[in-house]
Structures are given as C-alpha cells and as structure tokens.
Amino acid sequence: MRTELSATKVPDRYRLKKMAVALAGLFLLLVTASVAYVLCSLQLRNVTQEILAGQRDTQQAWVDKSLEAVRAWEANLLEQIRFVSAAEIFRLYAVDVGALSPASVAALDAPDAARSDDAAVAGLAEQKEYLWDLLRDTARGRQWAAARIVGPQGQNLVADADAPELGAAQWALAQSAMEQRAVRYGPVRPLGGGLVMDVAAPLYEVLGQGGKNRAVAALLVSVPMDGPLAAFLTVGPEQQRLFAPLLLQLGAEGPEALAVEAGAVRLEPLREAPAPAPSVLLRRPGALGAGPVYAVESALPDLGWRIVAEAPAAGVEGLLLQQKKQIYGLGILGSLGAALLLAFVWAMLVSRAHRATARHFKGLYVLIQRQKALLDSVNASLQAGLLLVDGQGRALMCNPAFARMLGRTEDEVTDSLLTALLPDPVAQSLLRKAQGVDKEDAAGSLEITLGEGAAARLYRVTLFPFAEQDEQKGGGQAPNSCVGIFQDITEFRRRAEAERARQASSMAALIRAVESVDPNLVGHSQKMERLVQALTPRLGLSERAGETLRMASLVSQVGRLFVPRDLLTKTGRLNPEEQQQVMRAPEYAYQVLRDLRFDLPVPEAVYAMGERMDGSGHPRGLQGAAIDANGRILAVVNAFCAMTSSRSYRVGMSPEEAVRQLRADQGFDQTVVEALADLPTETLQAALRAAPGRAPAPMQAAGPEASGGA
C-alpha cells in the first residue's frame, strides 16, 4: 500500500510544481507585458511631443518671418502716408476750409469757384486745384489706387472731381482716424479686378489753441494689396508640402480669408472665424473647410489681420501612426525577452530564504525630548497649521491656524476623523503618509491641495512621529500617532514656477543668439550639458554643484556675442591682438550673466572657464586651487567638445585622442581629465551626438579654437 501511495503522490506533486511554475511564468509574462506597454506609451508620448514640437517650430518660423515682412511694409506705408498728412500745405488748407460757412464750402465745388466774388472762396478754389494735382502726383508716385482728403463732415476737401461718393465704411474709417487721432486700416477689399486696403490718417491744424492740435481732416488712401499679400503669403516648395499660409481678417460682411492660389491672391468669405491659436499648435477645422488642420498663428491688431499657417492633420497624424506601430512592435519583442529574463530572476529569488530584520526602538527619554522640542518650535509659529492625529485617523488637537485653514473652530476639529474634515483623497494620502512615518520612525512630507478653483491653496505637510505613554498598557507606546505641520506654499510655488520659466526662456534666447553669431557653436552648449551631467556622479559632486555646471555649460559661450564676427569666422590663425579679443569672451559672459538671477554661482563658473592650472589662462591668470572648481571642470569639457567636433580645416578627433592630448596638457585639471577618461565610450558618444533636429555647422575659423574656445 505504501508503494502504491508513493507511486501516485510523486507524479501529483511534480505536476503541481510544474503548474505552479507555469502560473508564475504566466504572471511574469503579464507583468512584463504591462511594463512594456507603459514604457511604449511613454516613449510614444515623447515622440508625439517631438513631432508636434517640430511641426509647430516649422510653422511658427514662417509666421514670424511673415510678421517681420508685414511690419516692414507697414512702416514704409506709414512713412509715405505721413509724408502727405504732415504736409503743412494740406493742413493749412483744411483749416481755412473749416473756417468757411457751409454755403461757402459747397461753393468750392462749383466749376467757376475760382472766379467767385468771395475772395476767400476764389483763393481756396485755386488752392484746391493745385493741391489735387499735388496729391494725384504723389499717389501715382507711390502707386496708390486712390487718394483724397475728407473733412470732418465727410465732404471731399481735396479729391478728383469724378471721384465716387465716399462709402459708409470709408467715412467710418476716416471718422475713426480723426476721433482717435491715429492711423486706421480698413479690411482688404476687391476693387476693379484687384485688391486694395483703405488707410485713413488724421491731418492736424498747424497751430492749435492751448498747444493742442485738433484733427481738421483725414487723408484717405486706397493701397493696392495684390503684390504685398502675395509676398507675405509666399512659401518655399518644401514649406508648401508641409503647410498652407493664410491671412484672416474681419471684412464688411464677416470673416474672410486671403490665400495665394496659382500665384494670385484670392479673397474668400468664411462662415465663421477659426478659433485663435497664438503660440501653440492647435488642432481645429481648416479655415477654408478642407478638413481638420494643425494651426499656428500670430495677430496684428492694428491691421486687424491674423497670419495663419495650417498643416493638414492627416499628414501629421499619419506620421504619428507610423511611429506608434514601430514603438509598439519593438515593445512586443522586448517584452518577450524581458519575460524570459524576469522568469529566470524570479526562479533565483524564490530559491533564497528571506532574512527577517529587526528594528531597535530609540530610548523613550530621547524620543520625548525630540518630540517636545518639535512641538515647542511648531507652537512658536502662528502662521503654520498644527495637527496631532492618532493611529485611527482621529484629530486629537490642533492650533487656531489649522482650524482657520478648514474654516472651522478648534472644538469642531478635535475628536473628528480626518475623512470628515478633509476631502477623501486628501485624507487617505495623509493617513498613508502617517503610517509610513510611524513605521520608519522618521519625518516625512507631502503636498496637498485644499479648496477648488481660484480659492484652492497648496500646502506642504511635514509629518513627525509622536510617541506618548499609554497608561492602560503599563506605560507602553501608543502606535501611529504623529504631528503634522501645514504650511501654505501657494504663492511661493507660483513665484518659483514663474521664475524658472523666465530663466529657461532667457537661457534659450541666449543660446539661440550665440548659435546665430557663430555657426560652429550650434549644438556645442548641449554637448557640454550632457557631458557635465555624466561627469557629476563620477566626480562625487553635490546636486547643487551639478545644477550649477549644467546651467553654466548652456550659457558658457555667451561671451562670443561680443567678439567681432570677423574673428569668429576667420579662416587663418589669429594674431596676438586678435587672440586677446577672443580671450575676453569669459569676461564678457560674466558681465552679462551676473545680472541674471541664477541663485547659483553660474557667472563665476563661466568667468573661470578660461583659466589654466599653470597660470597661463585668462582673463585673470589664476592657477591651481585659486581657480573656481566648476570653472576647471568647464574648461576640460569645453576643450574636449571642441577637439572632438569637426571643422572645415580638420576632422574632429576621436574621444581617445582628445583625452590623450588633455592628459598631456598640464593647464587642465588632471582629476577632471581622468574622470572624463573613465566614462564609458557609449556615454561619450551619446553626449557628443548632435542635438535633435539640428546638424552641427562646419567650423569656419581656426582662431577661437586656438585660444581655448569652442
């Protein structure tokens, strides 16, 4: 009987073991697949953001270029118009006509007005003919479609005798210019097979009462727009494949769109104006009804225009779909391999016995003294909220500041559960953190939000373990009690985020400016940034020092903005005088950066970047330990990035050759050089890789590198 039992139990146990292993493998496969899905989703999100950012930058670049062209055209037009509106001969004439009676003004339009018995009428009639000839010649010279000067009552003061009646929209435009004392623009409109835009400018009296000149008339000009609009909306063949340019305006009948088709500008009415998309890539219906688009635009309020670049959504989303298929395909293959690896690791781990660890409690006297000091310091602050809560989540006590945060009294808070005082998600977060604080016997902190909408406030909550004597348990320690300090950090967080955004914008602008001055520096700052981030742990630097180096590497080349461009692009060697000018780049950079609020010694690090350990550097000739430590690191990184970058007259060195030359040069800190040499080859190659979307520019000058620059 025993033999039969053994023969049946052993196979059963083996089958159970195989089933357990199979279930464990299936579980690991599911876990691995879930992790792979999450990683693929994160990667897809990053790729999507990169594609959309690239599309936005392309469209925004064209919009910015068109804005510059429009502003230049507008400035030229204003100069032409003000040449006429500021002319005293027209202004004096308008003042003289304004002094006439209505009957005399009407008599000016008579064919024989120049022979009138009224000397004033006769004189002004002769002036009118001369002024019209002058205005007509000026309009022809500036290629205006039409021009006239109208009075405050809408009458033609200086105009062609056959000129059509002033339209309601034109009169409203002229009246607005006189009332607002400013140039006013009308919408682009068709006229005689072309497009024109009405522009009205006020004419002021020459000598006004009390030193104030009133508007006595308005110059009304119809400017041809076919040529300027075609220039504004023109795109290159590559850009035409990516997006379509438009100009939106509010016409007399409603919203209108102007677009170039077959080299001609066409004006089309719209059912409704598209939603604005300033400085962002917005997905919306196309203005001309061609399906959804991704739009970027900028507005010109004085002209009433919106310059828009619309990219078909189908093309952009097709590229996103292609990236999605590639990422998830790789994720599936990776998850299968990872599942096998996790199964192996799991088998290794489950075969080991887990050792139990014991925690030793600190002495009760030390704990009481620490908690007493904590409570004394908290009670000294009337601005921070104080709450003592037990292990069941019940408030044992609070100070008035905490009660005010909840809009309650201290009595209402005491003996109430946190779930009754706070929103459930906030209460649960506090309870979980309190349990962790008690378990680890160490302080912890978290951030919570109380209130909704504009009244919401952000609080930093610091929790400390709190032990008290439990008399019923013979003097034992009551578990899970903790003290919470609630500090309102709403305004501090808003200011910090705003300051970080301003600082990032300033640094990006400086980098773009440097790269525009010296093409050889395109991507140089980004390479230095990646390299110092790789060196920071190797050198055992603190987080503050690492952030200082990262920011300093990004703005390390700012001083080159003040170096003459001909020296940066010189193809031959620099003479001593020219080299001295290039060597002042760190000094120039320090003068610019010291006025920016970094809260880190960034300017000092950049200033010391040109120094050398043997005292041969610049601008101060420091040596050894007298040189700022961050400056010594930047010097090595800057030289390494320059030596490994290709130039027009040489190919970039290999990382190994660059390290060999740095070792041979005692002007560099050899501790930093050795840390650089210890970096893996893959890390160096990744750091020196060109910035995404930007190719490194060929070097055009030998001088800056010879002086230790990039």
**Contact (Cβ atoms closer than 8 angstroms) between residue 643 and residue 661:** yes
Q: How confident is the model at residue 72, as a pLDDT?
A: 94
**Contact (Cβ atoms closer than 8 angstroms) between residue 499 and residue 597:** yes
Query: Comparing C-alpha atoms, which of 627, 618, 616 is closest to residue 672?
Result: 627
Question: Rounded to whole angstroms, how far apart are CA atoms 18 and 12?
Answer: 10
- 642-657 pLDDT, tens digit each: 888 876 667 888 899 9
**Contact (Cβ atoms closer than 8 angstroms) between residue 433 and residue 410:** no
Lowest-pLDDT range, 86-100, 150-164, 459-473?
A: 459-473
Q: How confident is the model at residue 195, as a pLDDT?
A: 92
Calculate mean pLDDT across residues 360-381: 62
Better pLDDT: 441 or 373: 441
Q: What is the dihedral of CA 664, 669, 670, 673, to 10 degrees?
A: -90
- 60-82 pLDDT, tens digit each: 888 899 999 999 999 999 999 99
Which residues are CB-neighbours of 455 under 8 A, at least 6 positions away? none
**Contact (Cβ atoms closer than 8 angstroms) between residue 386 and residue 399:** yes
pTM, two decimal places: 0.45
**Contact (Cβ atoms closer than 8 angstroms) between residue 528 and residue 641:** yes
**Contact (Cβ atoms closer than 8 angstroms) between residue 613 and residue 669:** yes
Query: Comparing C-alpha atoms, which of 286, 191, 227, 263 is closest to residue 76?
Result: 227
Residue 504 vs residues 284, 328, 338, 510, 588: alpha-carbon distances, Å: 29, 33, 39, 10, 20
DSSP class of residue 157 equals E
Question: Rounded to whole angstroms, how far apart are CA atoms 392 and 431?
Answer: 9
E-assigned strands of 360-436?
385-389, 395-398
Calculate mean pLDDT across residues 359-372: 66
DSSP of 303-357:
TTEEEEEEEEHHHHHHHHHHHHHHHHHHHHHHHHHHHHHHHHHHHHHHTSPPPP-
Question: Rounded to whole angstroms, how far apart are CA atoms 511 and 525?
Answer: 8
Residue 666 vs residues 22, 536, 616, 673: alpha-carbon distances, Å: 62, 22, 10, 10
Query: Comparing C-alpha atoms, which of 569, 535, 538 is closest to residue 552?
Result: 535
The two three-digit tokens of residue 704, written as one number: 């800056």
Q: How confident is the model at residue 147, as a pLDDT?
A: 92
Question: Rounded to whole angstroms, how far apart are CA atoms 159 and 109?
Answer: 10
SS3 call for 146: strand
The two three-digit tokens of residue 311, written as one number: 């990219």
Strand partners, 450: 457
E-assigned strands of 473-557?
476-477, 482-488
* Strand order across the 482-488 sheet: 395-398, 385-389, 482-488, 457-465, 444-450
E-assigned strands of 436-592?
444-450, 457-465, 469-470, 476-477, 482-488
**Contact (Cβ atoms closer than 8 angstroms) between residue 244 and residue 121:** no
Calculate mean pLDDT across residues 516-537: 83
Q: How confident is the model at residue 228, as a pLDDT?
A: 92
Question: Rounded to whole angstroms, how far apart are CA atoms 393 and 609?
Answer: 56
Residue 476 has pLDDT above 70, yes or no: no
Question: Rounded to whole angstroms, how far apart are CA atoms 709 and 308?
Answer: 42
Better pLDDT: 568 or 432: 432
| Greatest mean pLDDT among 2-16, 255-269, 472-486, 666-680 | 666-680
**Contact (Cβ atoms closer than 8 angstroms) between residue 316 and residue 10:** no
The two three-digit tokens of residue 463, written as one number: 């929790």
Write down the residue that tokens 């205006």 correspond to: 144
Residue 580 has pLDDT above 50, yes or no: yes
pLDDT confidence band for 705 (50 / 70 / 90): very low
| Greatest mean pLDDT among 25-39, 296-310, 562-576 | 296-310
Calculate mean pLDDT across residues 219-243: 87
Query: Comparing C-alpha atoms, which of 423, 438, 536, 520 is closest to residue 484?
Result: 438
| Greatest mean pLDDT among 464-468, 512-516, 570-574 | 464-468
DSSP class of residue 522 equals T
Strand partners, 300: 305
Question: Rounded to whole angstroms, how far apart are CA atoms 466 and 444?
Answer: 13
CB atoms within 10 A of CB 564: 11
Strand-pair category, 244-251 with 156-158: unpaired
Question: Rounded to whole angstroms, how far apart are CA atoms 242 and 236?
Answer: 10
Write down the residue that tokens 């009754």 correspond to: 420
The number of CA neighbours under 13 Å toward the Cβ of 491 is 0
pLDDT confidence band for 698 (50 / 70 / 90): very low
Q: How confident is the model at residue 577, as a pLDDT?
A: 79
Write down the residue that tokens 């209460």 correspond to: 427
Calculate mean pLDDT across residues 136-146: 91
Better pLDDT: 322 or 237: 322
The number of CA neighbours under 13 Å toward the Cβ of 618 is 13
The two three-digit tokens of residue 491, written as one number: 């305004």
Residue 353 has pLDDT above 60, yes or no: no
Write down the residue that tokens 């002024």 correspond to: 131
**Contact (Cβ atoms closer than 8 angstroms) between residue 59 and residue 355:** no
pLDDT confidence band for 108 (50 / 70 / 90): confident
Better pLDDT: 487 or 649: 487
Q: How confident is the model at residue 368, as a pLDDT?
A: 67
Question: For 389, phi and psi rounded to 5 degrees?
Answer: -125, 145
**Contact (Cβ atoms closer than 8 angstroms) between residue 618 and residue 611:** yes
**Contact (Cβ atoms closer than 8 angstroms) between residue 234 and residue 260:** yes
Tell me which H or E stretch contains 261. strand 254-261
Strand partners, 264: 261
Question: Rounded to whole angstroms, how far apart are CA atoms 606 and 587?
Answer: 9
**Contact (Cβ atoms closer than 8 angstroms) between residue 124 and residue 90:** no
Residue 257 sits at the vertex; the CA angle it makes with 251 and 263, to the nearest 5 degrees, is 125
Question: Rounded to whole angstroms, how far apart are CA atoms 665 and 632?
Answer: 13
- 423-445 pLDDT, tens digit each: 988 888 888 888 888 888 888 88
Residue 709 has pLDDT above 50, yes or no: no
Cis ω for the linkage preceding 619 (within 30 of 0): yes
DSSP class of residue 484 equals E
Work out the percent of the chain whose per-residue pLDDT is above 90: 15
Lowest-pLDDT range, 17-26, 78-87, 622-631, 673-682?
A: 17-26
Q: How confident is the model at residue 666, as a pLDDT?
A: 92
- 376-431 pLDDT, tens digit each: 555 545 578 888 898 888 998 898 888 888 888 988 899 999 888 889 888 888 88
Q: Identity (one letter) of the amino acid at 221?
A: V
Calculate mean pLDDT across residues 190-207: 89
**Contact (Cβ atoms closer than 8 angstroms) between residue 674 and residue 662:** no
Q: Catalogue all structural domains in the chain, each as residue range(s) with its CATH number.
A: 87-228 (3.30.450.20), 382-467+479-494 (3.30.450.20), 517-688 (1.10.3210.10)
Residue 362 vs residues 358, 370, 462, 463: alpha-carbon distances, Å: 13, 11, 21, 18
Q: How confident is the model at residue 100, as a pLDDT?
A: 81
Residue 156 vs residues 152, 159, 197, 508: alpha-carbon distances, Å: 10, 6, 19, 54
Distance of CA 580 to the CA centre of its chain: 37
